[in-house]
Amino acid sequence: MTVNKKDVLLSLRDLEISFGEGKNKFVAVQDVNFDIYRGETFSLVGESGSGKTTIGRAILGINPTSNGTITFNGTQINKKLSHHQEQDVSRKIQMIFQDPSASLNERATIDYIISEGLYNFNLFDSEEDRLQKVTQIIEEVGLLPEHLYRYPHEFSGGQRQRIGIARALIMQPELVVADEPISALDVSIRAQVLNLLKKFQRESNLTYLFIAHDLSVVHFISDRIAVIRNGRILELAETEELFNNPLHPYTQALLSAVPIPDPKLAREKKLLVYDPKMHDYSVDKPSFVEVKPGHFIYANAPEEEHYRQLLDEQAQGVN
């Protein structure tokens, strides 16, 4: 896929998100820097509690940020916006939720759920126009128009998630934050949902921020991947680069946990365990550095040296 690297859609700079105040203050996310380019799929991977969902929600304005900026289409959005700007941003950034049974209003028909955004921004000319739009999107996600007058609990998990996708995409967003959209689904229908997301990306040049907790899922769909742990981004690279040259020990540990669908190979695989105590950051403070074009890593000076060396060795090895 060709991605225009110049065209930055979303940009996070020195982002810090904290909860509580004073003694109870808990910093969930700190020093987060990355750009998402228009039309790409950017994945944020980390274990639960790493702050990945918090970042996703901050982009949507659900979690307030305590420091840093979030810039969307060149406008800072994590501050008080004018009513017009706010409407514009909330239409253009949409979210797909993890749990399709919890994120749908059980007391509303599918018709209302999908139309909710249309009503909020008056995105239709007439009742027929709205119905036509809703019917079109529901067919696009592979459901039937007759489903419009049913309630969420009558659907299966996969169907519900497609309703969630339909409700986000009917808004014709530019950025979709997909928060573990397939982790609550049966393995058998995960591919179906991922393919659907891919299809929409192809058709309308969508940008995805894909949040996941294991690398195997994102390998298939992402252009670039950021690995996050304890609220910090540890490594960021293009997908192939990250899978071929994982530098950070944590990334290596995550990769070692990716299941291999071949029992023979799987038996030989060594599971790596990451211990954060291995870094000695007491004297030399780490920072987020670019060790190779497009490949960033959180390291201090000696580590950076070590990583560059590894990359050189690898490059020579290939040659």
Partner 1 sequence: MAKKNAAVAAEAIKPKAVAKDEDFVLVSLDKKATEIIDTPKYSYWKSVWKTFFANPVTIFMLVLMIIILLMSYIQPMFSGYSLLDVKGVNDFGARYNWPSAKYWFGTDADGKSLFDAVWAGAKTSISIGVIASVIVTVVGVIVGAFWGVSKKIDRIMLEIYNVISNVPMTLIVIVLSYTFGNGFWNLIFAMTVTSWLGTAYFIRVQVMIMRDREYNIASRTLGTPTRRMIFRNILPYLTSVIVTQVSQLLPSFISIEVFLSFLGVGLSSNVPSLGRLISQYSPYMTSYPYLFWLPVLVLALITVSLYIVGQNLADASDPRTHM
Question: Would you tell me which residues interact with partner 1 (CB under 8 A)?
Answer: 57, 60, 62, 87, 90-91, 93-95, 97, 99, 102-108, 112, 116-117, 119-121, 142-144, 146-147, 149-151, 153-155, 159, 164, 167, 171
Give the nearest distance from C-beta 84 to partner 1 in angstroms.
Answer: 12
Give the nearest distance from C-beta 154 to partner 1 in angstroms.
Answer: 6
- Do the bridges between strand 232-238 and strand 224-229 make them parallel or antiparallel, or are there none, so unpaired? antiparallel
In this complex, which beta carbon is closest to partner 1, that of residue 164 or of residue 286? 164
Helix (H) or strand (E) holding 194: helix 187-204
In this complex, which beta carbon is closest to partner 1, that of residue 96 or of residue 212? 96
Helices (H) and strands (E) in the chain, counts: 11, 12
In this complex, which beta carbon is closest to partner 1, that of residue 31 or of residue 116? 116
Q: Is residue 260 classed as helix, strand or coil in its secondary structure?
A: coil
Q: To the nearest 10°, report the CA torsion of 159, 163, 165, 171.
A: 160
In this complex, which beta carbon is closest to partner 1, that of residue 46 or of residue 158? 158
Give the nearest distance from C-beta 180 to partner 1 in angstroms.
Answer: 12
Q: Is residue 259 classed as helix, strand or coil in its secondary structure?
A: coil
In this complex, which beta carbon is closest to partner 1, that of residue 133 or of residue 295? 133
Give the nearest distance from C-beta 249 to partner 1 in angstroms.
Answer: 34
Is residue 114 within 8 A of residue 170, CB to CB? The reply is yes
In this complex, which beta carbon is closest to partner 1, that of residue 141 or of residue 226? 141
In this complex, which beta carbon is closest to partner 1, that of residue 106 or of residue 240? 106
Give the nearest distance from C-beta 57 to partner 1 in angstroms.
Answer: 8
Nearest Cα to Cα of residue 221 among 246, 193, 248: 193
Contacts of 143 (CB under 8 A, 6+ apart): 110, 159, 162, 163, 166
Nearest Cα to Cα of residue 220 among 208, 205, 236, 235: 208
- Do the bridges between strand 93-96 and strand 175-179 make them parallel or antiparallel, or are there none, so unpaired? parallel
Hey, what are 273's tokens?
A: 């365990």
CB atoms < 10 A from the CB of 290, how many? 12
Contacts of 100 (CB under 8 A, 6+ apart): 157, 160, 161, 163, 164, 184, 185
In this complex, which beta carbon is closest to partner 1, that of residue 144 or of residue 315? 144
